[in-house]
Amino acid sequence: MTATQERPADVQAEIGRDRRRKEDQRLITGRTRWTDNLQLNGMLHLAMVRSPFPHATITNIETSAAKDTTNVVAVLTGKDFGEELGVCINAWPITPDQKTPAHSPMPADRVAFAGEIVAVVVARTAAEARDAAELVEVDYEELPAALELKAAAAADENGGAIAHPDLGTNKSALWVFDSGEAGTGGDVEEAIASARTDGIVIEREYRQQRLIPAFMEPRSVVVDPTGEQLTMWSATQIPHILRFALAATTGVPESKIRVIAPDVGGGFGGKLQATPEEWITWAVARRLGKPVKYTETRSESLISAHHGRDQWQKLTLAAQKDGTVTGLKVELLADLGAYVALVGGGVPVLGAFMFNSIYKFPAYHFACQTVLTNKTWTDAYRGAGRPEATFAIERIMDELAVEVGVDPLEVREKNWIKHEEFPFTTVAGLEYDTGNYEAATERAKEMFGYDDLRAEQKRRREANDPVQLGIGISTFTEMCGLAPSRVLGSLDYGAGGWESATIRMLATGKVEVVTGSSAHGQGHETAWSQIVADRLGVAFEDIEVLHGDTQVSAKGLDTYGSRSLTVGGEALVRAADKVIEKARPVAAHMLEASVDDLEFTGGRFSVRGTDQGVAIGEIATAVFAAHDLPDGMEPSLDSEATYDPVNFSFPHGTHLCAIEVDTETGALKIRKYVCCDDIGTIINPLIVAGQIHGGLVQGIAQALWEEAVYDENGTLVSGSFVDYLLPTAADTINFDIDHTTSPSTTNTLGTKGVGEAGTIASTPAVVNAVVDAIRHFGVTDIQMPCTPERVWKAVNGGTHGGTEDTEGAAMPHFDEAEPGNSSTEGAGA
């Protein structure tokens, strides 16, 4: 009766195997379930009317013309809704006194960024809704807008514009960590003072430009209120968190809500949000009692889906003359945009633990001021806080090397934690469980041909070659696998960090795995199958992984922060182990043996020293029949585990980048990129490679191409894919990647996260390479993105970028003499 093949014990282990993905068959044949594909009977479509102004009072909204249009069902504004509209929540108030502006999904009185929704049109087709949205007339009274981060931060002193006048300040929260106070290290001011008299002090200011996650699938949401449960389909990373947030803010009992994340086309943190669009669609569907769909255009996505990064970072590094670091002080300004998003304020705080990176700083101080402005809200973008930290420390370590006069790898090695020193408690208070920076660096150098490239660099420099070669290094680490719930609690985060898994043993011996993680490109169906196949000894093909629907996967905390494998994977392992323990007495009963004489290998219980045995699939069948089970046994092998991690995981690696810089034109060419990452045990090397490649390009893109640019009117001028420069195949190169492995000791499989590693590591490697190529022109920094124009100016004007470029930074790609660039029209849906 069972179709399951038994797996011989000598069968190839699944973990470590480059399985082709289970997901792909559907995706390569167009048999996909994107939210926008859904059509339901009687479904209505929404179009949003958005503010073209960054800050304005809404004085009147005239909807009658739109309402009179054929097939328009309703036009609704903030005033038409009461509490059922709910609010957009901030789940992570980083300090008790954080200033958090009220955030209505559709404010009735005042808009706080260009792109904010002021009205919604409901029609029978999306095209009709969009046409009618053009007819909604909104009168605004413009208010002064807080736009530029530094100016907004100083508004208390200089009387500048206040993003939310009712708050009286743009300063949202000041979050501070001090190693002296925390007892994890010394006093940084002392370290700096003593380095000033007899050592090295390096002070730098770096800019983290504003970025846009730019997932390829525009956000889409469908709400069907016609069943007993209200169902929301959303292109989201976080179906479980959405369900909770809808219940908490819109008055619908959680048990009446079902949220489904069907196929989701990328997220990168950008779909880790509870959005106004979702809340409005929810409210309209409930109001009208009909299924409703909203799909954003790309231009809407770029102005309204949350942005990422956007910080100014001031660093003071103290060291002895030989390059031994003695202290690090970090002062950040972080632009929240118009609202404190779901985890918006917490993003820079995640970086707080990472500036010290792999180095043994004896003293550390971190302070982050979050600032409200009248721009699109910011929140997680791949790496979230850790790329910022890694960038700053890896840039300044290069500066230290220059100061000491040694190779940048040498100064790193002098200061990093040696492999024999693990586990190591850092000055930021984290315990790094494992790592081997020496091994990863050695392997990366070998792959790179480090010495040869240094020799070539020297030759070109001596020959005054117009094309100079730069070598950039990034020896990064990160903390991921978010996160131990207790740590989150101590940081005032509004939820835990556990993950859940259920394994259902079907009557035919097939297996259903239900996970609380919510993949949107990561290949969980494949990797999770590999883990369970090995653990239970069943065939890879016999496992079905279910996720992304709260009716199927009732418990979960979703996918972000490179957490799915280290946290969700461990939950899987534990659920599988429970299945085995439940099966054990049944096996003993079937084999008429004592449980103590049984061993479980390759999916089979056998009696030690005999050839008697029974496969787990056969046991599942017997349990289903339940004709002859041990007395009192519940007829089920199904098991659930919820795992709360005991620590973060700390992947690390050495990334090396060679860039050719044409000093006559400023043009850059990536010549070679090599990385050796230690991400612990690898489940599927093919998927890992894909995560690294994609991550690298996102990090490289921050270094070289991408920036969300606002003009002085508060309009996002890089508001379409014409102006926001996503890299293409023609801009990028092939990468050489490899791994060293020091398995994590905090989970059974020894895994570390990989989803964000490439992005976190690559940005400083690239910028370090660019600066290294032209340092002999007196260049010490180039502000990102390192456009040919900036590079050329740096070569021709010496030191450039960094703190000197505050003003121009607002419009680096555009001719400031041409106000025609900054159209405020067309912001309507």
Partner 1 sequence: MTRISLTVDGEKVSDDIEARMLLVQYLREKVGKTGTVIGCDTSNCGACTVHLNGQSVKSCNVLAVQADGGEVATIEGLATNGELHPVQTAFRECHGLQCGFCTPGMIMQSIDLLANNPHPTEEEVRVGLEGNLCRCTGYHNIVRAVMYAAEHGSSDSVQSEGASA
Query: Could you give the count of Cα atoms lying within 13 Å of 254 in the half-sphere of its Cβ?
Result: 11
* Torsion, CA 670, CA 800, CA 309, CA 759, rounded to 10: 20
Instruction: Tell the smallest beta-carbon distance from residue 732 to ligand FES (Å).
Output: 13
Q: How far apart are CA 819 and CA 65, in angstroms?
A: 32
Residue from 16, 101, 160, 266 binding ligand FES (CB under 6 A): 266
Sheet holding 499-505, edge to edge: 543-546, 511-515, 499-505, 639-643
Instruction: Tell the smallest beta-carbon distance from residue 699 to ligand FES (Å).
Output: 16
- 680 binds ligand FES, rule: CB under 6 A: no
**Nearer to ligand FES (CB atom), residue 265 or residue 470:** 265
# residues near ligand FES by CB under 6 A = 4
Task: Choose the one of ligand FES, partner 1, none that binds residue 729, judging by a C-beta under 5 to 8 angstroms depending on kind.
Answer: partner 1
Of 357, 421, 419, nearest to 388 (Cα)?
A: 357
Query: Could you give the count of Cα atoms lying within 13 Å of 749 in the half-sphere of its Cβ?
Result: 32
What residues have CB less than 8 Å from 99, skipping those under 6 apart?
A: 167, 169, 171, 172, 173, 372
**Nearer to partner 1 (CB atom), residue 130 or residue 535:** 130
Q: How far apart are CA 563 and CA 241, in angstroms?
A: 15
Task: Choose the one of ligand FES, partner 1, none that binds residue 675, judging by a C-beta under 5 to 8 angstroms depending on kind.
Answer: none
* SS3 assignment, position 660: strand
* Torsion, CA 455, CA 456, CA 462, CA 465, rounded to 10: -170
**Residue the block writes with tokens 């909203």:** 294
Q: Angle at Cα 148 formed by Cα 142 and Cα 150, nearest 5°? A: 135
Instruction: Tell the smallest beta-carbon distance from residue 758 to ligand FES (Å).
Output: 15
Please list the alpha-helical segments (H only) found in 357-418. Answer: 386-404, 408-415
Within residues 236-265, the interface with ligand FES by CB under 6 A covers: 265
**Nearer to ligand FES (CB atom), residue 404 or residue 519:** 519
**Can you give the binding site for partner 1, defined by CB under 8 A?**
20-21, 23-32, 34, 36-37, 127, 214-218, 263-266, 268, 297-299, 520-523, 686-687, 689-691, 693-698, 720-722, 726-730, 732, 734-735, 758
**Nearer to ligand FES (CB atom), residue 301 or residue 357:** 301
Instruction: Tell the smallest beta-carbon distance from residue 593 to partner 1 (Å).
Output: 45
**Nearer to partner 1 (CB atom), residue 640 or residue 723:** 723
**Nearer to partner 1 (CB atom), residue 30 or residue 632:** 30
**Nearer to ligand FES (CB atom), residue 427 or residue 697:** 697
Query: Could you give the count of Cα atoms lying within 13 Å of 169 in the half-sphere of its Cβ?
Result: 15
- 463 binds ligand FES, rule: CB under 6 A: no
- 521 binds ligand FES, rule: CB under 6 A: yes
Of 196, 238, 195, 52, nearest to 133 (Cα)?
A: 52
What residues have CB less than 8 Å from 518, skipping those under 6 apart?
A: 236, 237, 238, 239, 240, 261, 264, 547, 548, 556, 558, 559
Instruction: Tell the smallest beta-carbon distance from residue 36 to partner 1 (Å).
Output: 8
* SS3 assignment, position 810: helix
**Nearer to partner 1 (CB atom), residue 298 or residue 314:** 298
Task: Choose the one of ligand FES, partner 1, none that binds residue 522, judging by a C-beta under 5 to 8 angstroms depending on kind.
Answer: partner 1
Instruction: Tell the smallest beta-carbon distance from residue 157 to partner 1 (Å).
Output: 40
- Can you give the length of the chain in residues? 829
Task: Choose the one of partner 1, ligand FES, none that binds residue 694, judging by a C-beta under 5 to 8 angstroms depending on kind.
Answer: partner 1
**Nearer to partner 1 (CB atom), residue 63 or residue 529:** 529
Instruction: Tell the smallest beta-carbon distance from residue 706 to ligand FES (Å).
Output: 15
Residue 8: exposed, middle, or buried by beta-carbon count in 10 A (0-12, 13-18, 19+)? exposed
Task: Choose the one of ligand FES, partner 1, none that binds residue 523, judging by a C-beta under 5 to 8 angstroms depending on kind.
Answer: partner 1
Of 561, 48, 111, nearest to 337 (Cα)?
A: 111
Instruction: Tell the smallest beta-carbon distance from residue 657 to partner 1 (Å).
Output: 14
Task: Choose the one of partner 1, ligand FES, none that binds residue 174, judging by a C-beta under 5 to 8 angstroms depending on kind.
Answer: none
Neighbours of 687 (CB within 10 A): 22
Which amino acid belongs to residue 397?
M
Evaluate whether 90 touches 341 at the Cβ level (below 8 Å): yes
Instruction: Tell the smallest beta-carbon distance from residue 753 to ligand FES (Å).
Output: 19
Task: Choose the one of partner 1, ligand FES, none that binds residue 364, judging by a C-beta under 5 to 8 angstroms depending on kind.
Answer: none
Residue from 3, 216, 463, 722 binding ligand FES (CB under 6 A): 216
**Nearer to ligand FES (CB atom), residue 86 or residue 267:** 267
| DSSP bridge pairs for 330 | 315, 366
Task: Choose the one of ligand FES, partner 1, none that binds residue 695, judging by a C-beta under 5 to 8 angstroms depending on kind.
Answer: partner 1
**Nearer to partner 1 (CB atom), residue 99 or residue 655:** 655
Instruction: Tell the smallest beta-carbon distance from residue 752 to ligand FES (Å).
Output: 23
Task: Choose the one of ligand FES, partner 1, none that binds residue 485, judging by a C-beta under 5 to 8 angstroms depending on kind.
Answer: none
Binding site for ligand FES (CB under 6 A): 216, 265-266, 521
